[in-house]
């Protein structure tokens, strides 16, 4: 059984002056928790869906233990179904709010609907279309010394763009080989988004450096290329803008776009091209 865990870190703030005692807050209305969905087709072609619940601003702070918080918001009682053109498949519970463990023959261009039923948190659904897979034509990763004591990862890549409008997501994540699945779902991955407005139907190349992570010889990274929908592109644009928010690590802010009816987050079906590099 695959047991998924998220790798999260908490930024600490140094206070330079004493703060007054906080005022007691009373009579705050209770907000009903809603299901938050995230998903990924992993390289072996199986689907992983992660379910968590939303939580209030008073439930967490920069001093919270992210692992304890993630454990407290995971939804472990759900029935999760994937409805496709030819069948309805039931995902297995894998632990820590994760469901999957079966291989579904997803077909490009076809719609699939996620159905989630939780006795505690209710029902949600979401429909998405399988995006065509795009592969790197060339890719290289190396260490870059910036002259200021930092060692960055420098990525250069090329891929061929299809004639129709496409939107792409490139993720870079340090990984342990045994934690590939966990890292592919990690919201702390360094992400860039690319629209093909200026290179539609041609080959595209780019070089960029990953920050703020300081890499060392022997570190392993995974670089992935995904063809994503316009709606998810907009979702990720907002997510990148909030990449250093603590709440971003464990939940989807309420003002994010979502394709989940009755809940939050995003249900996707895209297959990334993932390449691994070990720095010399």
238 is in which domain, residue-wise? 136-250+274-278
The reply to whether 61 and 83 lie within a common domain is yes
Residue 215 forms part of a structural domain: yes
- What's the mean pLDDT when you consider all of the chain? 79
Q: Which of 102, 129, 156 is the last residue of a domain?
A: 129
Burial 145-182 (b: 16+ CB within 10 A, else e): eeeeeeebbbbebebebeeeebbbbbbbbbbeeebbbb
Q: Which of 112, 129, 146 is the last residue of a domain?
A: 129
Q: How far apart are the first and last CA of the chain?
A: 33
Give CA–CA dist 229/111, Å, rounded. 13
Q: Which of 129, 163, 179 is the last residue of a domain?
A: 129
The reply to whether 153 and 184 lie within a common domain is yes
Give CA–CA dist 273/192, Å, rounded. 15
Residue 258 forms part of a structural domain: no
Residue 260 forms part of a structural domain: no
Percentage of the chain surpassing pLDDT 70?
72
Residue 3 forms part of a structural domain: no
Per residue in 155-174, pLDDT (tens digit) is: 999 999 988 899 999 999 88
The reply to whether 205 and 145 lie within a common domain is yes
Asked whether the beta carbons of 37 and 52 are under 8 A apart, the reply is no
Give the pair of three-digit tokens for residue 161. Answer: 């763009």
Q: What is the CATH number of the domain that holds 241?
A: 2.60.40
Beta strands 260-261; 122-129: pairing state: antiparallel
Our count of domains for the chain comes to 2
pTM: 0.76
Which mean pLDDT values do the consecutive 10-residue runs of the chain (280 residues) have?
A: 33 30 48 85 79 70 60 91 95 91 88 97 96 94 87 95 93 71 59 94 95 84 93 87 49 70 92 90
The reply to whether 103 and 48 lie within a common domain is yes
């Amino acid at each position: 059984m695959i047991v998924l865990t998220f790798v999260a870190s908490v930024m600490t703030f140094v206070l330079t002056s004493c703060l007054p005692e906080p005022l007691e807050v009373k009579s705050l209305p209770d907000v009903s928790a809603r299901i938050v969905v995230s998903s990924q087709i992993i390289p072996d072609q199986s689907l992983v869906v992660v379910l968590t619940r939303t939580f209030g601003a008073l439930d967490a702070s920069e001093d919270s233990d992210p692992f304890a918080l993630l454990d407290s918001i995971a939804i472990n009682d759900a029935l999760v179904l994937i409805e496709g053109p030819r069948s309805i498949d039931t995902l297995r519970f894998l632990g820590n709010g994760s469901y999957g463990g079966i291989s579904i023959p997803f077909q490009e261009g076809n719609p699939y609907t996620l159905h989630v039923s939780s006795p505690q948190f209710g029902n949600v659904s979401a429909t998405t279309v399988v995006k065509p897979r795009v592969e790197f034509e060339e890719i290289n990763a190396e260490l870059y010394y910036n002259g200021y004591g930092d060692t960055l990862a420098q990525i250069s890549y090329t891929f061929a763009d299809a004639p129709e409008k496409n939107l792409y997501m490139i993720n870079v994540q340090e990984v342990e080989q045994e934690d590939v699945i966990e890292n592919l779902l990690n919201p702390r991955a360094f992400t860039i988004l690319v629209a093909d407005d200026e290179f539609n139907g041609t080959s595209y190349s780019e070089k960029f450096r990953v920050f703020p992570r300081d890499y060392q010889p022997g570190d392993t990274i995974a670089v992935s290329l995904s063809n994503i929908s316009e709606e998810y592109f907009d979702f990720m644009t907002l997510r990148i803008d909030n990449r250093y928010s603590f709440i971003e690590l464990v939940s989807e802010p309420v003002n994010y776009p979502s394709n989940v009816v009755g809940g939050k987050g995003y249900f996707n079906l895209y297959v990334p091209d993932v390449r691994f590099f070990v720095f010399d």
